[in-house]
Amino acid sequence: MTFCFYFRKEIMKTSLKSVAKSNLDPSDETVEVISITHWTDSLFSFQLKRPKSFRFKSGEFVLIGLRDTTETLILRAYSIASPSWDDALLFYSISVKDGPLTSILSKINPGDRVILKRKPTGTLVLDALRRGKRLFLFATGTGIAPFASIIRDPMIYENFDHIILTHTCRMKRDLAFGELVLELRKKDILLRDLDIKKLKYFPTLTREKFVNTGRITSLISSGQFFRDAGIGDFSYATDKAMVCGSMEFNKEMASILKGKGMKEGSISSPGDFVLERAFVG
């Protein structure tokens, strides 16, 4: 049996580095690519057709993959960037030069097929947080993906009085995907009767002049974040937070939030904040 039908010929020609061999579970399936958008040289998003029986919670991630020319299965975790009610599955990715999966995935075309594992999971879900008044969503880079899902989910507008989404990127162009999703919300029928203006967006750039400049971690530590966003300092009693970025970013944010008396949560033991690594590679 050949797996070459997953990709068009030009993609199959791409050479790949070594990756672990693995077998496909019979319950996994290939799904059709609907569209792909290149935001910058290294950032792209793509939409897959959602299988009818595929269920997930906004904020979860799933394994996506393909087979290379040697029939090796390459799988990587991707946060689903579309909300749980949407017909399509949206993903946002960095393209790593020579990255076993992303270097090929960035070349997919509508009509190609990729493998979608059937078990979405993750901790960036409302079930892992206790009830609160303000919800902070802290992202760097492609860590915006799970929040792109969450901010289009009616649940957050029903459960929180204020939502603050921060996105730290290097350059202005890196904000484009997040900005599009914020726009999409305005047309979401499920959000029509909800107050989506309760979400405050706080983008910040580290390598280009901008209205907010610097890493969010530094802006929080100096207090500038609260002043510039026009909000009060963290309150462990009423604030909840989700964090998605690099390992180092997650660690620093966890330390900041713990320093404010907030406790890390999980689905089995809901808390005040939850972390997930932004997946790359």
* Binding interface with ligand A2P (CB under 6 A): 140-141, 168-170, 206-207, 215-217, 246, 248-249, 252
Alpha carbon distances (Å) from 177 to 44, 45, 113: 9, 8, 23
Could you tell me the smallest distance in angstroms from the CB atom of residue 198 to ligand A2P?
A: 25
- Residue 132 has phi, psi (to 5 degrees) of -160, -175
Which residue, 72 or 212, is less far from ligand A2P as judged by CB? 212
Could you tell me the smallest distance in angstroms from the CB atom of residue 246 to ligand A2P?
A: 5
Query: Residues 24, 73: contact at Cβ < 8 Å?
Result: yes
Could you tell me the smallest distance in angstroms from the CB atom of residue 182 to ligand A2P?
A: 18
* Nearest alpha carbon to residue 245 among 147, 138, 149: 138
> HSE (CB half, 13 Å, CA atoms) of 105?
30
Which residue, 156 or 169, is less far from ligand A2P as judged by CB? 169
Integer distance in angstroms from the first to the last C-alpha of the chain?
Answer: 28
Q: Which residues pair with 205 in a beta bridge?
A: 169, 213
Query: Residues 147, 50: contact at Cβ < 8 Å?
Result: no
Which residue, 206 or 212, is less far from ligand A2P as judged by CB? 206
Could you tell me the smallest distance in angstroms from the CB atom of residue 239 to ligand A2P?
A: 19
Which residue, 11 or 137, is less far from ligand A2P as judged by CB? 137
* Nearest alpha carbon to residue 19 among 231, 281, 256: 281
Could you tell me the smallest distance in angstroms from the CB atom of residue 39 to ligand A2P?
A: 13
Which residue, 30 or 140, is less far from ligand A2P as judged by CB? 140
